[in-house]
Amino acid sequence: GLWGLVNNAGVSTFGEVEFASLDNYKKVAEINLWGTVRVTKALLPLIRRAKGRVVNTTSMLGRMVSPSRSCYCISKFGVAAFSDCLRQEMYRWGVRVILIEPSNFVAA
């Protein structure tokens, strides 16, 4: 079986809504949101059998917005919502769903 899954996908683009292309929105969502959903769905039967856990990493920008980051924010809001739904659905199976929402950091 498989006891744990960590989803940590994260790509971003910058640009104001008016100037960000639809392709940018799609590319960011394809990796950040749909990648997380696909991998989780593929491995969830093994996780459920082991009563394991799913850890999804998003961002503080998955709960609040920032100008010029709409592509990224939308994708991370989606992962946060997906995680909240999954947490409620998996509770009865003894599977924990954890959401990590780091903030900005500066490497020294």
Active site residues: 72
Who contacts 18 (Cβ-Cβ below 8 Å, separation ≥6)?
none
Residue 106, CA atoms < 13 Å, CB-side half-sphere: 1
Q: What are phi and psi of 89, to 5 degrees?
A: -70, -35
Q: In what order do the strands lie in the sheet with 4-7?
A: 4-7, 53-57, 96-100
Q: How many helices (H) and strands (E) does the chain have?
A: 3, 3
